[in-house]
Amino acid sequence: MKLQGKKIIQLVSDEFEDLELWYPVLRLREEGAVVHIAGNKAGEEYIGKYGVPIVSDVSFHDIDPNEYDAILVPGGWSPDKLRRYEDILTMIRTMNEQEKPIGQICHAGWVLISAKILEGKKVTSTPGIKDDMMNAGAEWLDEPVVVDGHLVSSRRPPDLPDYMREFISVLAGK
């Protein structure tokens, strides 16, 4: 249990990519971490792209990022909704300034773009937002997982084992 005592925020809104949310949550819990599902409202059910539901534990409006060790942003269409909340962008910026692990997969890069934290960083994402990532100042690489300091990025569901291995490694080292 490499992550005993660690607390992680897993952001959520409707139309998340089911595997890109659930796989990380389960892997982190297997390693002993506490993972809080953070949605717009606490106790609200959110539905993934393929119909798998999840209920939020907390509202992201009420989260103090200083009380957490890391944050995960899921893929799917959820990031396009999440990046519209200033509370989330502030949370991402705060965790970035504190160099806490930030995990993003697939379209999740949109949230980091809106938080304006990608300038000069090496990242990956779904190829569909490659230009967005590069226009935000990032160096985009077509690899299963890219680690640049505390930022851990990945492309798509088949890359989840690589993504979580590296995210857990970065988080365990903090």
Name residue 9's amino acid: I
Would you say 41 and 59 are in contact if contact means Cβ atoms under 8 Å apart? yes
Q: Read off the DSSP letter of residue 69.
A: S
Q: Is 139 helix (H, G, I), strand (E, B) or coil?
A: strand
Tokens of residue 2, six digits: 């490499």
Active-site residue, 107 included: yes
Name the active-site residue from 36, 61, 106, 150. Answer: 106
Burial class for 119, CB neighbours closer than 10 Å (0-12, 13-18, 19+)? exposed
Name the active-site residue from 36, 61, 107, 150. Answer: 107
Q: Rg of the chain over CA atoms, in angstroms?
A: 14
Q: Which residues are catalytic?
A: 106-107
